[in-house]
Amino acid sequence: MNSAAKERLSKVKAIYFDLDDTLCGYWDACKKGLREAFELNPISGVSTDEAVAAWGGAFQGFASDLKKIPHLYDAYLTSGSTTRKHQMQLTLEALGKPSDEFAERLSEAYMTRRDANLKLFPDAIDVLETLSKTYKIGLITNGPADIQNQEIDTTGIRKYLQAIFIEGEQRVGKPEKVVFDRAAAAMECSPEELLMVGNSLHHDIVPAIEFGWATVWTLRDSDVPPSSKTGKPEPIPTEGPMPDLIVSHLSEILPYLEK
Ligand SMILES: [Mg+2]
């Protein structure tokens, strides 16, 4: 780490974590949940691999279009159920097996199995426990209000969090500046007293750098959505703003922050 990055981390008073694939393994849970949902509810003539691939293909187009469909985005902010079912309808259509009723059943099974497979990374509690002794800790997470609150409770991290910003509750998500401004105000901190720890360059790291926060990018081999063509995590860019630190495990940040 260079001296400018060390200097930035030494000023930090409050730390915001992202949730999915920063504190817990969301894509792992998603892929296991999909497999189990399709195994419990087989689609005739379609293998589990084919079904998961079809879901990935449908997800890719759908995720990028979500905010362009106002009524769907509005429903998504409150509850993941509408878009989750819509996603399953698209998956069944892509497989030539459209069925509203079956999409509903698959969607419910997927949510239940995904939640059952959602786990914190092994060092997450230790890191939250240790850092919460010295720093104010918060969470900024994108996604529907119901699902994000469910994840916070499933993982048992609520007791460590002094401030929680959920896209669904705020009606706006990262990378929008207003989200980072609200988060800073909640901690009564100036930008240089804040650290963002997250797995997404686009949603967590680049905006936080732009708004003057210190940043730690978590980059793990497991951070691969089912829609990925490469099966590999996001590559480290060769240009553009860079985080103060890149880690593959959360505990790697402790030596830089323990006071
Ligand atoms: Mg994330």
CA of 198 to the centre of ligand 1 (A): 6
Residue with tokens 């209000």: 145
Span 89-108, average pLDDT: 97
Min mean pLDDT across 41-50, 81-90, 228-237 is at 228-237
Residue 73 has pLDDT above 80, yes or no: yes
Residue 259 has pLDDT above 80, yes or no: no
CA of 98 to the centre of ligand 1 (A): 31
Cβ contact 143:114 at 8 Å: no
Residue with tokens 């293909």: 57
Contacts of 192 (CB under 8 A, 6+ apart): 8, 11, 212, 213, 214
CB 156: neighbour CB atoms within 10 A? 10
CA of 21 to the centre of ligand 1 (A): 5
CA of 45 to the centre of ligand 1 (A): 35
Cβ contact 35:103 at 8 Å: no
Q: pLDDT tens across 26-72, in order?
A: 999 999 999 999 999 999 999 999 999 999 999 888 888 898 989 98
CA of 20 to the centre of ligand 1 (A): 4
Specify the length of the chain in residues. Answer: 259
Q: Is the pTM of this model over 0.85?
A: yes
Side chain identity at residue 162, one-letter code: Q
In this prediction, what percent of the chain has a pLDDT beyond 70? 100
Q: What pLDDT is stored for residue 65 in this prediction? A: 84
Residue 117 has pLDDT above 90, yes or no: yes
CB 74: neighbour CB atoms within 10 A? 11
CA of 173 to the centre of ligand 1 (A): 12
Strand partners, 14: 136, 194
Span 219-231, average pLDDT: 89
Min mean pLDDT across 108-117, 157-166, 233-242 is at 233-242
Q: What pLDDT is stored for residue 62 in this prediction? A: 81
Cα gap 60→80, rounded to integer Å: 17
Q: What pLDDT is stored for residue 1 in this prediction? A: 79
Give me the DSSP letters along 107-168: HHHHHHHHHHH--B-TTHHHHHHHHTTTSEEEEEE-S-HHHHHHHHHHHT-GGG-SEEEEHH
Q: pLDDT tens across 195-207, in order?
A: 999 999 999 999 9
CA of 231 to the centre of ligand 1 (A): 17
Cα gap 36→73, rounded to integer Å: 27
Residue 168 has pLDDT above 90, yes or no: yes
Could you list which residues have their CB under 5 Å from ion ligand 1? 18, 20-21, 199
Residue with tokens 């890719």: 60
Alpha helices in the chain (DSSP H): 3-10, 26-40, 48-65, 70-78, 81-94, 100-117, 124-131, 145-155, 167-170, 177-187, 206-210, 254-257
